[in-house]
Amino acid sequence: MKVALVIEGLGSGGAERVACTLGELLFARGFDVTLLTIDAETGKFYTPPASCELYDLGLKKIEMSLSKRIIGYHFIRLKKLKEALLKINPNLIIPFGTKLNGLVLLALGEKSRDIPVIITERGDPKNGRIEWTYKLLRKITYPKASTMVCLTRYAADFWSKSVPSLPTYVVPNPVSFVIQEDTGEISKGNGKNIILSVGRLARQKNYPLLLKAFSLIAAEYPDWDLIVYGEGKKREELIRLSKRLGISERVFFPGVTKNIAEAYKRADIYVQSSLYEGFCNTLVEAMGFGLPVIATDWNGVEDIILDGKNGLVVPFDVKKLAEAISTLISNEELRQNLGKEAKKIKHKFSLEKFGEKWYRLIQDVLKQKKLTNE
């Protein structure tokens, strides 16, 4: 049984990590797995599993002329996708993300009646940014899919109402492998306590809120620093903001690291200040390491944090976030209690549960397609 997992590339995003993880799990279950990538080299972070065949279209958008990027890229991608899928000839296709969902279904055309497609929605359906062309493509193509996988109950509820004919399931991302390789305590380095956040330096992550909140309490807690791991277009803007707020010597942006486990183990508090999330792998990872966490009240966070039990949830307010951080800094017992409960997230979002949910769903979809075609 041949399965094609379609992803944009092998960058440091959650979709890429989950696709590689799912590929390994399906191979272990006896599937022949192909990772079909649009561009596997640009920004490469993950190495594809040895058990999976890599089929890369090699479409490097960054190397195309501006006119070609604006006008021709999407058509070229559609054409190449269609050719690749015909060559791979899979029994099942799983694209990752809104754009690839629509493009795969469009590329298949009438063949979507014969080849089941499990589309995956990975973002916030209300707040995520997407071009109007892909919004239109969703309306046209999504009813042709076999089923949809979402990461939260909030997203599944939205899509079940938007596309009533499409079966919708919730399969949260698994806790990252780095947690399961946790080998214990490590040195704190300069001895300072650390408030940690991990994510792209982009508008969605709402880091100005975190910087402003930290600036309100930084002087009161001189032994605490803020470290933000990640890269993105907002880097220079955030550095300038930290200087204007007078906290540039207390805030650090070390970039992307492949040893994120060390960052979690060094930290004392984890904060996620996002405007919206699809699921937030880094928040779950931090909890898996037993960190007390604070998150803003984005849609779907309730699937991860029970406010006051295994973490704190705050509104999108600078003072409220500052107060929550101050509360955790000044109350070690609360930090320990929240961290202890947070660590239980490893069982809720275990790799075993993730693999089993996907396997059962795939078997159901293949069985249903067989009955439909008989």
Domain boundaries defined on the chain: 2-174+350-373, 177-348
Look up the pTM and report it. 0.86
pLDDT tier for residue 176 given thresholds of 50, 70 and 90: low
Mean pLDDT of 197-224: 96
For residue 72, give the DSSP letter: I
pLDDT score for 69? 63
CATH architecture of 177-348: 3-Layer(aba) Sandwich (3.40)
Q: 50-107: per-residue pLDDT in tens? A: 999 999 998 876 666 666 666 677 788 899 999 999 999 999 999 999 999 999 999 9
Mean of pLDDT over the chain: 90
Amino acid (1-letter code) at residue 343: K
pLDDT of 191 > 80? The answer is no
Contacts of 67 (CB under 8 A, 6+ apart): none
**Among 10-24, 58-72, 227-241, where is mean pLDDT lowest?**
58-72
**Distances in Å between the alpha carbon of 216 and those of 213, 221, 245, 247, 325?**
5, 10, 9, 10, 10
Question: Which of 185-194, 250-259, 337-346 reaches the highest mean pLDDT?
Answer: 337-346
pLDDT score for 182? 46
d(CA 75, CA 15): 23
pLDDT of 189 > 60? The answer is no
Mean pLDDT of 24-38: 95
Contact 104, 95 (CB under 8 A): yes
pLDDT score for 77? 87
Higher-confidence residue of 60 and 145: namely 145
pLDDT of 31 > 80? The answer is yes
pLDDT tier for residue 328 given thresholds of 50, 70 and 90: very high
Mean pLDDT of 237-242: 97
pLDDT score for 47? 86
pLDDT score for 177? 55
Q: Do the two domains 2-174+350-373 and 177-348 of this chain adopt the same fold? A: yes
What is the dihedral sign for C-alpha 175, 177, 180, 186?
negative
pLDDT of 184 > 50? The answer is no
**Beta bridge pairs of residue 55:** 36
pLDDT score for 185? 45
pLDDT of 372 > 70? The answer is no
pLDDT over 70 percentage in the chain: 91
Q: 255-312: per-residue pLDDT in tens? A: 988 888 999 999 999 999 999 999 999 999 999 999 999 999 999 999 999 999 999 9
pLDDT score for 369? 75
Contact 329, 224 (CB under 8 A): yes
- Long-range contacts (CB closer than 8 Å, 24 or more residues apart) made by 128-136: 128/98, 128/276, 128/278, 130/98, 130/99, 133/74, 134/98, 134/99, 134/102
What is the CATH code of the structural domain delimited by 2-174+350-373? 3.40.50.2000
